[in-house]
Chains A and B, each alone.
Chain A
Amino acid sequence: DGGITQSPKYLFRKEGQNVTLSCEQNLNHDAMYWYRQDPGQGLRLIYYSQIVNDFQKGDIAEGYSVSREKKESFPLTVTSAQKNPTAFYLCASSQPGGVGTGELFFGEGSRLTVL
């Protein structure tokens, strides 16, 4: 099946620890994205990448880092600098096309809880 695979589904972290969330896609999409979801705030963009070895900050990049060494992989590291990391994290991919296109395909999310 083609799709987005995120792992782990649930993750607990102690304060001061870095954690890395995995995101893999087999849709052959060029673009990948990380969103954070908090109750009542919708989805906020953390980082996105249009091609391998290139990525841009989204609206809430502070305290996060990413890499894009392979087309199918876009891991997100939540660092100890992120002040409020407890959230539901969603990875997505898309194949940017022309005007009026751009469906995002989402994984099932990773729920991070800081103890």
Chain B
Amino acid sequence: QQQVKQSPQSLIVQKGGISIINCAYENTAFDYFPWYQQFPGKGPALLIAIRPDVSEKKEGRFTISFNKSAKQFSLHIMDSQPGDSATYFCAARIGTGGFKTIFGAGTRLFVKA
């Protein structure tokens, strides 16, 4: 019940296209849904995050769409660029009993020039 399921496992997008990564969860105790970006050999870094009382959050070319009733959320990368090529992780944080953050399996994005 604490799992976060992420798809697809890998994604190839043409430069200028839209990259879409989807995640689903079961536990309604999650109170914070971040997305992290990781480049090879580095630690992940926060990209954008949303709370469950908000349906959409946009920061530049990155948008999170959140569907509380369906327990799903997704990351949209508009006008994808080769520099966006990285691994993306969705995550969910349990706000009680220890503030654990659970991660999805990750999506390897490659943006073709």
CB within 8 Å of B: which A84-115 residues: 90, 92, 94, 96, 99-104, 106-109
Smallest CB–CB gap between A92 and chain B, Å?
8
- Pairs A-B, 6 closest by C-beta atoms: A106-B43, A100-B51, A43-B103, A42-B105, A42-B103, A96-B99
Cβ of A106: which chain B residues have Cβ within 8 Å of it?
43-45
Q: Say yes or no: B43 contacts A50, CB within 8 Å.
A: no
Chain A interfacial residues counted at CB < 8 A: 29
Alpha-carbon distance between A92 and B55 when the two chains are bound, in angstroms: 28
Beyond A41-B105, A42-B89, A108-B42, whether A58 also contacts B32 by CB under 8 A is no
Name B95's contact: one of A33, A90, A94, A99 (CB within 8 Å).
A99
CB within 8 Å of A: which B52-103 residues: 52-53, 89, 93, 95, 98-103
Interface residues on B, range: 20 to 34
Most buried by B among A43, A90, A103: A43
Minimum CB distance partner of B2 in chain A: A59
Q: Say yes or no: B51 contacts A102, CB within 8 Å.
A: no
Cβ of B43: which chain A residues have Cβ within 8 Å of it?
4, 90, 92, 106-109
Is A48 close to B, CB under 8 A?
yes
Minimum CB distance partner of A104 in chain B: B101
Q: Which residues of A contact B (CB under 8 A)?
A: 4, 31, 33, 35, 40-45, 48, 50, 56, 58-59, 90, 92, 94, 96, 99-104, 106-109
Smallest CB–CB gap between A54 and chain B, Å?
10
Alpha-carbon distance between A45 and B94 when the two chains are bound, in angstroms: 13
Mind listing 30 A-B residue pairs with CB under 8 Å?
A40-B106, A42-B89, A42-B103, A42-B106, A43-B89, A45-B101, A45-B102, A48-B99, A48-B100, A56-B98, A59-B2, A92-B43, A99-B31, A100-B52, A101-B32, A102-B34, A102-B93, A103-B34, A103-B46, A103-B49, A104-B36, A104-B44, A104-B46, A106-B43, A106-B44, A106-B45, A108-B41, A108-B42, A109-B41, A109-B43
Beyond A45-B102, A108-B41, A109-B43, whether A100 also contacts B6 by CB under 8 A is no
Smallest CB–CB gap between A29 and chain B, Å?
11
Cβ of B100: which chain A residues have Cβ within 8 Å of it?
45, 48, 58
